[in-house]
Structure 1
Amino acid sequence: MIEKIWFDKHPAGILLWPLLWPLSRLFKRISEKRKSDFQNGIRPSYKADVPVIVVGNITAGGNGKTPMVVWLVEQLSKQGYKPGVVSRGYGGKAPNYPLLVTTSTPAEHCGDEPRLIHVRTGAPVAVDPVRSNAVKLLMEQGVDIVITDDGLQHYALQRDVEFVVVDGARRFGNQAYMPLGPLREGLERLNSVDFIVTNGGEPKSNELGFALHPDMAVNLKTGERKEVSSLGNLVAFAGIGHPPRFFSTLDELKADVIATHAFPDHQAYSLQDIEKIEQPNSQLIMTEKDAVKCDSFAKGNWWYVPVSANFSHADEQRILEKLNKVMEHYGSSTS
């Protein structure tokens, strides 16, 4: 219902307006005061010895930040740098912090997105609600540039480059602050970031656009790869910020989907949860983000679809030029 109020002008928004509008104004004031305190030195902020790149958004919900982080890690690695990734580990609770993610770290400790990033890229990933502690741990691992997955509003950590990821289809909804709308910060915040990148849709003149390119389906049990269209009787599910995006992708891939199930973002799964949605003689298909939470108890008929962010060559070069200049400022050079 909240999503429909924010993005689809649901009539319930009118009924709830007297309750949500005062809360929205309060959220705005608290958000602006907190940011001002960090900018004016009333609250302390941490400056790392290496460049820090923030990939975030000004709206709540999933916009495609994690594929953008993966793309940056891969591009920087190709340039000869040693990137690492910081996350607060939303959806997980570690036995201790900061936590350095490994391939055996369960998602319930580190969160699904940090585990996905590490498994996908092999880059060092550190998790801590206090992001400066995670940055310090990464620097001990020899990292020479840090990317934060989310954290645009985490002003306790100073940054050198800011990316805002925008859902190109849904944009900013009703443009109201939470909880009346999806905004964490006002639209004027876009004027101060280095790059506005849109996931899908048609980018505006001051934006760079990327598309999420789906790859072949991967079997969670065996690692076998197949074309999605070759898999039959698929039950699809997704626990991401906007599940319909995944289901639309499957339609575009001509998948034989017989049922779909949407779960809350960062849903923690058990085998029993998944078995409830299985159907006789069916196969399951899920997002890569869901797969990192299901691989420990996966069955042989479970598949996931990895996606990658693709930029035009011109936009890719524009981003890399900025990042290389920042690295030069810090005195780093490629190996």
Structure 2
Amino acid sequence: MFERFALAVERAWYQAPRLLLLLLPLEWLFAALTALRRTAFRKGWLSSVHPGKPMIVVGNISAGGTGKTPVVIGITQALMEKGLRVGVISRGYGGSGSGVIPVTADADHRIVGDEALLIARSTGASVTVGRDRVAVARHAAGENIDVIISDDGLQHYALQRDVEVVTSDAESGFGNGHLLPVGPLREPRRRLATVDFFLLRGGQDPHSGTAYRPRQFRRLSDGAVRDVQNPGFGPGVHAVAAIARPRRFFESLRSLGLEPREHPFVDHRAFEEKDFAALGDLPVVMTAKDAVKCPDLPNTDAWVLDMEAQFPDGFLDQLMERAGLEVRREEDRGTADDSNQTSAEAFASPTIGVNQ
């Protein structure tokens, strides 16, 4: 019941039904409180802290499905390739854990959240979650790292930042343009004028357009990898997606010549065995974010579509410059980089890519 309601509300944000206009008084209240809160932090009426290490926030001004986590993974991987030690912080949305929790590659997604676990497995970086983002950032700053990346938290003004990266989706845009709860916006669109970088998923502008490319199919049971153009199965597949924009995933499968039978679920759903028991004999294909929640599927013919983010030319260099980061020389990297990789390597041999 709740899942159907949540999906219906999200569809309404992008289809602009007039029934939502009944919630306009709530939108006005939300807008006033949001503006007052941001002003209070900007003028120092409410206190904010800096973690003491260069701080990059990757977030959005709308709810759900803008490609934020793939961008976090892509930036983290790129900075680590330049020899930098990266710490990622997250609220751990969907997880039940309390306090400050370091995320290892074998962590329980029900405690740390699916996105944080995906980041940890995909990058091998130091990942920490907790509902108190300031406490989590302070913990991360105490580790042997060079830079902190916050997965979400654009509106968490109690935590100062050096660089703001906002992600959005060219297809869905900003929905009906209204703030919550009438529309999907957390802040007005004019907020974009104040951020450092704006990345538009599927956009054509060379300065902001960000592509998400299918990289490989990976079998969930043993990590076997197949080429996306010749996976050795299909064309019929069951496509399972518990993400904010499941249609994107289904369209990606069609672009690869598959014929998916669509099974959308509400974002962050904790899968149960019954969700897959009645799917039949066709292969099951899912996103990387969903795969971290499905270690023991009864269907052994289950596959993950790994994706990778492709950033605009010059983006990473400009990002490093804004954050005051420099490429670390090989001789200066020490042993910290080896420890950063330990959790990912210990978990499994297959490479885990960016999710949809």
**TM-score past 0.5 threshold:** yes
Distance (whole Å) between structure 1 residues aligned to residue 153 and residue 298 of structure 2? 32
2:35 alignment partner, SS class: helix
Q: Partner of 2:186 in structure 1?
A: 184
Pairing 1:131–2:133 present: yes
Distance (whole Å) between structure 2 residues aligned to residue 116 and residue 60 of structure 1? 20
Q: CA deviation at 1:33?
A: 1.4
Q: CA deviation at 1:131?
A: 1.0
Q: Partner of 1:16 in structure 2?
A: 20
Q: Partner of 2:173 in structure 1?
A: 171
Pairing 1:26–2:38 present: no
Structure 2 residue runs of 5 or longer lacking an equivalent are: 1-7, 333-356
Distance (whole Å) between structure 2 residues aligned to residue 180 and residue 84 of structure 1? 35
Which letter does structure 1 place at the counterpart of 2:19?
A: L
| Structure 1 contact 222–300 (Cα < 8 Å) conserved | no
Distance (whole Å) between structure 2 residues aligned to residue 88 and residue 297 of structure 1? 27
| Structure 2 contact 100–128 (Cα < 8 Å) conserved | yes
In structure 2, relative to structure 1, the CA distance for the partners of 1:211 and 1:235 (3 Å cut) is same
Which letter does structure 2 place at the counterpart of 1:318?
A: Q
Distance (whole Å) between structure 1 residues aligned to residue 119 and residue 165 of structure 2? 17
Structure 1 segment 225-240 matched on structure 2, within 5 A: 225-228=225-228, 229-232=231-234, 233-240=236-243
Distance (whole Å) between structure 1 residues aligned to residue 318 and residue 275 of structure 2? 44
Which letter does structure 2 place at the counterpart of 1:222?
A: D
String of CA shifts for 1:93-112, please: whole Å, max 9, x gaps. 11x41000011211000000
| Structure 1 contact 221–298 (Cα < 8 Å) conserved | no
Which letter does structure 1 place at the counterpart of 2:204?
A: E
Which letter does structure 1 place at the counterpart of 2:74?
A: W
Q: CA deviation at 1:156?
A: 1.0
Distance (whole Å) between structure 1 residues aligned to residue 298 and residue 37 of structure 2? 44
The farther-off stretch of 107-116 and 141-150 is 141-150
Distance (whole Å) between structure 1 residues aligned to residue 10 and residue 285 of structure 2? 24
Q: Partner of 1:39 in structure 2?
A: 42
The farther-off stretch of 166-175 and 293-302 is 293-302
Structure 1 residue runs of 5 or longer lacking an equivalent are: none
2:292 alignment partner, SS class: helix
Q: Partner of 2:308 in structure 1?
A: 308
| Structure 1 contact 220–299 (Cα < 8 Å) conserved | no
Structure 1 segment 104-143 matched on structure 2, within 5 A: 104-143=106-145
| Structure 1 contact 231–256 (Cα < 8 Å) conserved | no
Which structure has the higher relative contact order (CA within 8 Å, separation 6+)?
A: 2
Q: Partner of 1:273 in structure 2?
A: 275
Distance (whole Å) between structure 1 residues aligned to residue 108 and residue 308 of structure 2? 23
Which letter does structure 1 place at the counterpart of 2:255?
A: E
The farther-off stretch of 248-257 and 122-131 is 248-257
Q: Partner of 1:100 in structure 2?
A: 102
Q: Partner of 1:327 in structure 2?
A: 325
Pairing 1:83–2:86 present: yes
| Structure 1 contact 220–298 (Cα < 8 Å) conserved | no
Q: Partner of 1:295 in structure 2?
A: 295
TM-score by length of structure 1 reads 0.91
Aligned residue pairs: how many? 320
Distance (whole Å) between structure 2 residues aligned to residue 198 and residue 70 of structure 1? 16
Distance (whole Å) between structure 1 residues aligned to residue 56 and residue 256 of structure 2? 33
String of CA shifts for 1:151-202, please: whole Å, max 9, x gaps. 0001111000000001111111211111111110011110110000011133
Q: Partner of 1:153 in structure 2?
A: 155
Counterpart pick for 2:74 among 66, 71, 76: 71
Structure 1 segments, 4+ long, off by >6 Å, are none
Counterpart pick for 2:200 among 198, 201, 205: 198
Distance (whole Å) between structure 1 residues aligned to residue 177 and residue 153 of structure 2? 20
1:230 alignment partner, SS class: coil
2:310 alignment partner, SS class: strand
Percent identity for Structure 1 against Structure 2: 38
Pairing 1:57–2:49 present: no
Q: CA deviation at 1:296?
A: 4.1
Distance (whole Å) between structure 2 residues aligned to residue 86 and residue 77 of structure 1? 16
TM-score by length of structure 2 reads 0.85
Distance (whole Å) between structure 2 residues aligned to residue 111 and residue 120 of structure 1? 14
